Amino acid sequence: MTNHLTVIDHPLVQHKLTIMRQKDVSTAGFRRLLREISLLLAYEVTRELELTTTRIETPMTEMDAPTLEGKKLALISILRAGNGLLDGILELIPSARVGFVGLYRDPETLQPVEYYCKVPGGLDARMTIVVDPMLATGNSSVAAIDMLKQRGAKNLRFLCLLAAPEGVKRMQEAHPDVPIFTAALDDGLDDHGYIVPGLGDAGDRMFGTK
Ligand code: URA
C-alpha cells in the first residue's frame, strides 16, 4: 500500500483550526477546541474500521445490526502533545486501548531516543492510530512507528492536526504503508523545525507552559 495523505477539509474542522492558530487564544480555549476537533478527526480516521453484524431486538422486531468487528483499536499518544488529541478521541471511542511513546532528541545526533514505551498487547490484531498534533520533521513519528512495528503493529494510521511537507515526505519514505490524516498541510518548517504558518508549540499551547 502506498501511504496516502488525507486532508480532513470538513468546514467545522477548518473553522476550529483557524481559531486555534491565532496567537491570542487562551490555554482553556485552545484545549477546548483541540478536544472538539479531535472528535471530528477521529470520525474520519476510523472510517475503515470493519463491521460485522449482531442479532438484536428492537421494540418492533429482530434484526442483524452492524457492530465493530475484531479487537478494540489501539490509540498511541506520542508524549506529550499527543495527549491533547488522545483525550478527545477517547470520548468518541471510550473502549479503545491506549499506549504512550516518549522520545527525546539527542542533542548531539539530533535523532529521537526512546525514554518510554508502554503499549497494549495484541497490536498485530488491532487498528493502531498514532496521534501527535504536529507532523514537523517527521523524525519522532517515524521513530514511534518503528517502535510499534517492532511490537507487532501492522494496521497503522497516523493522525495529526498540522503537517509540514517535509514530515509527510519523511513518513512516506520510511513508512509507506501508514496513511496520514491531518487537518491541514502547511507551507514548511522554519530554521528551528517549527511548522509555518503553524500554531506554535502545540504542547505549550495546550498545557500553558513556556
Ligand atoms: N512541534 C510543535 O509543537 N510545533 C511545531 O510547529 C513543530 C513541532
Structural domains of the chain, ranges and CATH numbers in brackets: 5-207 (3.40.50.2020)
Residue 1, pLDDT > 50, answer no
Q: Is 179 annotated as a binding residue?
A: no
Asked whether residue 137 is marked as a ligand-binding residue, the answer is: yes
pLDDT of residue 3: 64
Q: What is the pLDDT of residue 110?
A: 74
pLDDT range class, residue 210, cuts 50, 70, 90: confident
- Counted residue by residue, the chain has a size of 210
pLDDT in tens, 54-110: 999 999 999 999 999 988 999 999 999 999 999 999 999 999 999 999 999 887 877
ipTM of the complex: 0.95
In this structure, are residues 53 and 67 in contact, taking their beta carbons and an 8 Å threshold?
yes
Compute, in angstroms, the gap from residue 65 CA to the centroid of ligand 1: 43
Average pLDDT, the chain: 95
Buried b (16+ CB within 10 A) or exposed e, 42-65: bebbbeeeeeeeeeeeeeeeeeee
17 lines ligand 1 (CB under 6 A): no
- Is 13 a pocket residue for ligand 1 (Cβ < 6 Å)? no
Q: Are 76 and 127 in contact (CB under 8 A)?
A: no
* Residues facing residue 156 across a β-bridge: 128
Q: What percent of the chain has pLDDT over 90?
A: 93
What does the pLDDT average to over 170-189? 97
- Say how many Å lie between the CA of residue 143 and the centre of ligand 1: 16
Cα separation, 39 vs 45, whole angstroms: 10
Q: For the sheet containing 184-185, what is the strand order? A: 134-135, 162-163, 184-185
